[in-house]
A and B are shown apart, each in its own frame.
Chain A
Amino acid sequence: EVVLTQSPATLSLSPGERATLSCRASQSVSSYLAWYQQKPGQAPRLLIFDASNRATGIPARFSGSGSGTDFTLTISSLEPEDFAVYYCQQRSNWPPLTFGGGTKVEI
């Protein structure tokens, strides 16, 4: 099973700042990695798939990069609605699909 480790656990930033979130895989997942955003009381929303492709309707301030074992989600300039928990997920070697433990982006 591929273990995904996200860091930091919590990121404290202000609106307008740049957010950089990390996801590290226990073995190579090629580019088969996604990022999801979850706000309190809501279901997760797909942001990025295949490491760097934005899902439908996702603003350009969200970008993903990386391959192999190290991945990054960058939010170029935080909007108030971006404060949420972010999860990475791999599909390279499934089942099982696995998720990282999440990074909370807080104000």
Chain B
Amino acid sequence: QVQLVESGGGVVQPGRSLRVSCAASGFTFSSHGIHWVRQAPGKGLEWVAFISYDGSLKYYADSVKGRITTSRDSAKNTVFLQMSSLRAEDSALYYCAKDDGFDWSRGYLDYWGRGTLVSVSS
């Protein structure tokens, strides 16, 4: 079955960096894009970033552009979210989610991980 497992969250000081990971299994990893969506405590969903099935396309929300990058390692079936210059407003549960398009980027998120919590605080 499809599984997405995030890891790497934690408490980090403002201005510091953090890398979170999303390990995927149960589907053809090389054929699906992966989205990152975050949710601040008690708040709604905010799309953060996307990487296409082959890594050739990467999109970012304006709120994180220039501070966050995403990459993927096909050998490890893992996607990464590298976050730098972190701010208090970046504190959230970060989900990775599979794009339901096969060999293309459709924009619907059909499977989600359970999330990893990032807390930015001094």
**Option from B45, B106, B112, B114 in Cβ contact (under 8 Å) with A99:** B45
* B106 proximity list for chain A (CB < 8 A): 91
Q: Check A46–B108 contact: CB distance below 8 A.
A: yes
A95 and B50 in contact, given A32-B107, A44-B45, A87-B45 (Cβ under 8 angstroms): yes
Give the Cβ gap from B22 to chain A, nearest Cβ, in Å: 12
A46 and B110 in contact, given A95-B59, A96-B62, A102-B44 (Cβ under 8 angstroms): yes
Residues of B whose CB lies within 8 Å of any CB of A are 35, 37, 44-47, 50, 59-62, 95, 97, 100, 106-115
Q: Check B107–A91 contact: CB distance below 8 A.
A: yes
* B61 proximity list for chain A (CB < 8 A): 95-96
**Option from A46, A56, A99, A100 in Cβ contact (under 8 Å) with B47:** A99
Q: Compute how far the CA of A96 lies from the CA of B35 in the bound complex, rounded to whole angstroms.
A: 11
A20-37, CB < 8 A from B: 32, 34, 36
Identify which of A45, A95, A102 gathers the most chain B CB atoms within 10 Å of its CB.
A95
Decide if the interface of chain B is mainly helix, strand, loop or mixed: strand
* B100 proximity list for chain A (CB < 8 A): 46, 49
Q: Check A97–B35 contact: CB distance below 8 A.
A: yes
Q: Check B107–A97 contact: CB distance below 8 A.
A: yes
Give the Cβ gap from A47 to chain B, nearest Cβ, in Å: 11
A67 at the interface (CB under 8 A from B): no
Give the Cβ gap from B61 to chain A, nearest Cβ, in Å: 5
Identify which of B46, B100, B109, B115 gathers the most chain A CB atoms within 10 Å of its CB.
B109
* A97 proximity list for chain B (CB < 8 A): 35, 47, 50, 107
- Per-position binary interface string of chain A over residues 52-73, scored 1 when its CB falls under 8 Å from any chain B CB and 0 otherwise: 0001100000000000000000
A46 and B109 in contact, given A98-B47, A99-B45, A99-B46 (Cβ under 8 angstroms): yes
